[in-house]
Structure 1
Amino acid sequence: MRTDHNAPRLIVVSDLDGTLLDHGSYSWAPAKPALRRMRELGVPLVLASSKTAFEIADLRREMGFSDCPAIVENGAGILPPGEAMQADRSAHAALLFALTELPADLRACFSGFSDWSVEQVAENTGLPLAQARLAAQRQFSEPGLWSGTPEDQKAFEAALAAKGITARQGGRYLTLSFGATKADRMADIVARYDPRPVTMALGDAPNDVEMIETADFGTVVMNSHGPGIPTLAGEATGRITRTHAPGPEGWNIAVLERIAQDYKEKG
């Protein structure tokens, strides 16, 4: 563990789509007051998303947190602060090869970003073409849509698990990857600090559950467009809360409340 006498009191770890970004417009404008307050206090924002490093680097810069690490492609990798993009896509190539080895009937039910043209990525995601190009530059994972039965999906996921590949359902996509989760990467980042800061994690989809439950304080952000998150154990004690407003509006309220509470308690 690295001792850092300037360690922050609080670290905010946040999902993007449907959480900090509006589900439909991808705007984070309603969260600007909380983001501004975080910058004033030196509270790091660790973006944690299924998005690529290429996508997150731009968002991180626009939000004013380029000095913070980010968790990319559902925890499959970490984007260091202010670092240039790395072009190594060997993990993604290995993942695509594993898909070719699946039974044809199961493979046919999964349509991933690599099966689509950039124009199709833009159409399916609602992203502008320039952003869709960045979304298609996968290094570690493969998001996609499942069109088969729930029973076939279980068989699909079991076949992938035998190859060391996990399938995690997000607000929009089923994302395939090797290894680590968002929660694992959050732990890696927090371990860099001594004393350990308080962690707050926010998300809206099943692939955020581990991160929300692992953090000191978790927030389930309201999102009526995806599968949602069932009641979590930490809600009974108030350690995990839910927003009453969706997306970045709810995110803004929750983060400002957490900051007010944490800094009031610590003086």
Structure 2
Amino acid sequence: MTLIVVTDLDGTLLDHDSYRWDAAQPALDVLKDRGIPLILSSSKTAAEIAPLRDALGFSHCPAIVENGAGILEGGDAAGEDGGETPYRRLRAVLDDLPAALREPFAGFGDWTAAEVAKRTGMGTESAVRAQARRFSEPGLWSGDEAGLEAFLAALAKHGVSARRGGRFLTLSFGADKADRMAEIAPRYANGDTGPTVIALGDAPNDICMLEAADIGIVIANPAHDPLPPLDGEAAGRILRSRLAGPSGWNESLLSVINGTNFGV
């Protein structure tokens, strides 16, 4: 049986605070040894994911970027696109909103690299890469819930939707991690048989991907409230890790891919 692994990064494969993946190295090594593709799926930009994907040793695999708003193809060095981009159109929509709706939202495009670094815990160089956006805008809402509802309703009139992640509210023109996972998976079909897709994530913006996968693994993250019961969890198709972050990623993934039911 052909397997592919699709994984969120922050709080899942990467430690929520340190962004390290050391604890997941044994499972990463098994994926490499067995030729199992690792598809990174994150709110991060292509500019952020490309060097990380190289460091992990999976530069040949496509990656899902900016919460599913785009795909970074295998081998792509993530050079910046010229001309008009969905991100520039999105920023224009934001800036055309009435001030009362616009002012409580602050996104990466509103902050300096130093501010992005402070709010994310990144280094300044990483923060600059996080601002090299093509498709979506993560940010924080400082107003009340009623204001947020009005803000999202105004954006929806322009085709802009919002998803909550572990840290930020991310705006885009649609498509999510599950959509991109469905787009990528057929590339790994064996004849008429599609691959078995294992997805791992920890945050609300991962739910669609976890529920759409053949096997979903919710990674514990004590930095935020646990995800609610998911569709397929009662039937055993979605599991929950015992440990948090990359330690939970490592233990859970090894348990699944070494299981006799999965033929690997």
Question: What TM-score does the superposition give when structure 2 sets the normalisation length?
Answer: 0.95
Deviation at 1:101, TM superposition (A): 1.7
1:28 matched residue in structure 2: 21
> Which segment drifts farther, 56-65 or 145-154?
145-154
Question: Aligned runs of 1:1-267 on 2, under 5 Å?
Answer: 9-88=2-81, 90-195=85-190, 196-261=194-259, 265-266=262-263
Residue pair 2:64, 2:70 contacting (<8 A) in 1 also: yes
Output the CA distance in 1 between the equivalents of 2:75 and 2:223. Answer: 33
Aligned with 2:229: secondary structure?
coil
- TM-fit CA distance, 1:234: 1.2
Work out the CA distance in 2 between the residues paired with 1:31 and 1:92: 33
Distance 1:136 1:228 in 2: 28
Question: Aligned partners of 1:177, 1:140: CA distance in 2, in Å?
Answer: 6
Contact 1:76 1:180 in 2 (8 A): yes
Deviates more, 1:117-126 or 1:220-229: 220-229
Relative to structure 1, is the Cα distance of residues 249 and 208 closer, same or farther in structure 2, using a 3 angstrom cutoff? Answer: same
| Separation (CA, whole Å) in 2 of partners of 1:150 and 1:44 | 41
Displacement after TM superposition at 1:160 (Å)? 0.9
The offset of 1:142, in angstroms, is 0.5
- Which consecutive residues of structure 1, in runs of 5 or more, have no partner in the other structure? 1-7
Structure 2 match to 1:3:
none
Aligned length: 259
Identity %: 54
Q: Could you tell me whether the CA contact under 8 Å between 1:171 and 1:227 is conserved in 2?
A: no
Q: Is the 8 A contact 1:72 1:79 kept in 2?
A: yes
Q: Does the 8 Å contact 1:56/1:72 carry over to 2?
A: yes
Aligned residue identity for 1:31: A
Residue 227 of structure 1 deviates from its aligned partner by: 4.2
1:33 is paired with a residue of what secondary structure?
Answer: helix
